[in-house]
Structure 1
């Protein structure tokens, strides 16, 4: 039995959300390993949920639009659990986990995992659920591109502005002896 004043025990004994640090790029593997560990140690009643918050990102590669999931917090996962020595040990000793986000406990002079506030969790979950897809094109200012669609098809110009939020790119094209800015969708241009 664990003593009431043990710093590893949440006094309310309610499940709380904690941030767990992982090796970068191994968030999904840690989630899978931790779920297996919870099952094998029969800890479903103390470790409730594991989240790897992501958002959709639209990437343009070789002129093609591709949707990818991007981690909101690379190197971190969220775990909802009732904190005690056994649940702490199960999470902390999962392959790929480097530790909990914590602060030093003044009583025992050792790191103590710090739970997230309810508002913080709500904000994170809302951000992951409601974010529109981010667009990432990878074009640089001044880069030369060819227009592939529309009235300026096959014109070549230099990128003068990129608006990833709107999915637009402004290209300076030369016709009638002068450079004119043309605003296009990302899908209407390709790198040369």
Structure 2
């Protein structure tokens, strides 16, 4: 059942995000619905603020004030559980239909990470397997896993050209 779980956005009263998260977690545990509502997140970011005196301090701030993200299997029971929590004004969507986030939106928010196993190193000969340069081959110049980037030197039209690609767009050449 949990394979069909998707991320939904719940609108809350401003300042109630953490209370809503805690309440939903208690209801989920109390009703044994851990397999239906998998994660509840209030996305936070660390920001450096400059005070009046010129000093800097790091502060945790909500990325989306007034919203809570929930990974859940949408059923009548889960919809009612979340919708009836104090502080929740509704799901983001149209009328009474909650619309899940797309996979691209979830990845862009950093809610879930797809782990890419890199089986090549700098200096390896690789083949480009995706994108406009698919089937070209080249040599790995630089790998940046934190940015999901690899730089490959490709020979095009008799010239060596550096190409920036995503990590999963290349594989070791046989």
TM-score normalized by the length of structure 2: 0.59
Q: CA deviation at 1:94?
A: 1.1
Contact 1:13 1:83 in 2 (8 A): no
Counterparts of residues 36-185 of structure 1 (less than 5 Å): 36-61=26-51, 62-104=53-95, 111-125=96-110
Cα separation, 2, equivalents of 1:76 and 1:27: 6
Counterparts of residues 21-40 of structure 1 (less than 5 Å): 21-40=11-30
**Higher-Rg member (1/2):** 1
Root-mean-square deviation (CA, aligned residues, Å) is: 2.1
What runs of 5+ residues in structure 1 fail to find an aligned partner? Answer: 1-9, 105-110, 127-192
Contact 1:20 1:100 in 2 (8 A): yes
Cα separation, 2, equivalents of 1:29 and 1:60: 29
Q: CA deviation at 1:43?
A: 0.8
Q: CA deviation at 1:13?
A: 6.9
Size of the aligned set, in residue pairs, is: 111
